[in-house]
Amino acid sequence: MEQKHEYYSLKELKNNAPKLFGVKTNTKLDDMFYTIVEENNSFVKKPLNGLPYLSVINITGIPDTGKSLFGEQFALIQASLGYKVLFVTVESPAEFLYTSFKMKSKFLNLDFDKIEENIFVIDVSKNDLFRENHKYLLETMEFVIKEKKTTITVIDSITGLYEHKEVMARQIVRLFYNFLKKYKQTAILISQKRSSQSSDSAEAAGGLAVAHIVDGTIVFDKKVIENKWDSNLYNLPLGSVLRTLRIDGCRLTGHDTKTYVFEITEAGTINILMPLEDFVKKNKE
């Protein structure tokens, strides 16, 4: 029998190479991924204007750092732009999503009628079958992606799919990653950290499985101002919370490596303010 050799010449890969452009989050993150273009015989950084198209990005952080809020906001923005979004909710029951989506879209001045039509939800939180049988969950996701032609997927959270079986983390994350690639989704996987894990690292429950497999990681963090030194440094009252995020790596494009300060607005939306270094400098002046 003739052996089939599976390899490509670089040239053959040309036709399948994805275009590099941004998928909007409408936050400052859109300017934090960039590409290099040639202009007047020199190379300049050009913001991608979003998350890299077709990337699978891991959003990680300890509890209460704004990961879910960010995932929801991304879904809302994309749906309001007319793109179809698959939202897989593993933690929060689907009916809670409705109220929070509605309030946020009002606050962000987005067209909720459009959003209602463009977001499709799979509720894993109340269905143990989905949680235990990933093949069944993937079949349902495949159905929605094909039937509704979604191009964006948010899974909140991927770590919730391997509770009690963390030795399987790598295999499970790989399964979902390959699936999202196959169906050409630009995706966000939210992953939870334990408080015992260093809060500013990319490690999630189950080890580093998620960070090693996905295309990029964004770490969400928070710091409670507990002493006078920090209170002076950040010009924040004792007991208040400083929220930060940082792109911890991306294989597909260049990116800003600075830590940014952000706030959670009263409507539960993410507003990225400025690099931490500028935030500290501003307070010194």
Residues that bind ligand ATP (CB under 6 A): 61, 63-69, 91, 192, 264, 266-268
217 binds, among ligand ATP, Mg ion, none (CB under 5 to 8 A by kind): none
Contact with Mg ion (CB under 5 A): which of 65, 68, 105, 153?
68
Tell me how crowded residue 31 is: count the other CB atoms within 10 A of its CB.
14
Q: DSSP assignment of 50-118, as one string?
A: SEETT-EEEEEESTTSSHHHHHHHHHHHHHHTT--EEEEESSS-HHHHHHHHHHHHHHTT--HHHHHHH
Contact 86, 141 (CB under 8 A): yes
264 binds, among ligand ATP, Mg ion, none (CB under 5 to 8 A by kind): ligand ATP
The footprint of Mg ion on this chain (CB under 5 A) covers a number of residues equal to: 1
Query: Closest CB to ligand ATP among 34 and 107?
Result: 107
Query: Closest CB to ligand ATP among 247 and 252?
Result: 247
Q: Does the protein bind Mg ion through residue 58 (CB under 5 A)?
A: no
Minimum distance from CB of 71 to ligand ATP (Å)? 8
105 cis-preceded (ω within 30 degrees of 0) = no
Q: Does the protein bind Mg ion through residue 78 (CB under 5 A)?
A: no
Tell me how crowded residue 81 is: count the other CB atoms within 10 A of its CB.
15
Three-state DSSP class for residue 148: helix
Q: DSSP assignment of 127-141, as one string?
A: -HHHHH-HHHHHHHH
H/E segment holding residue 8? none
Q: Does the protein bind Mg ion through residue 65 (CB under 5 A)?
A: no
Q: Which residues partner with 64 through β-bridges?
A: none
Query: Closest CB to ligand ATP among 63 and 82?
Result: 63
192 binds, among Mg ion, ligand ATP, none (CB under 5 to 8 A by kind): ligand ATP
66 binds, among ligand ATP, Mg ion, none (CB under 5 to 8 A by kind): ligand ATP
Determine the Cα–Cα distance for residues 260 and 196; give it in Å rounded to an integer. 23
Minimum distance from CB of 160 to ligand ATP (Å)? 9
Query: Closest CB to Mg ion among 98 and 136?
Result: 98
Minimum distance from CB of 211 to Mg ion (Å)? 18
Q: What is the binding site for Mg ion (CB under 5 A)? A: 68
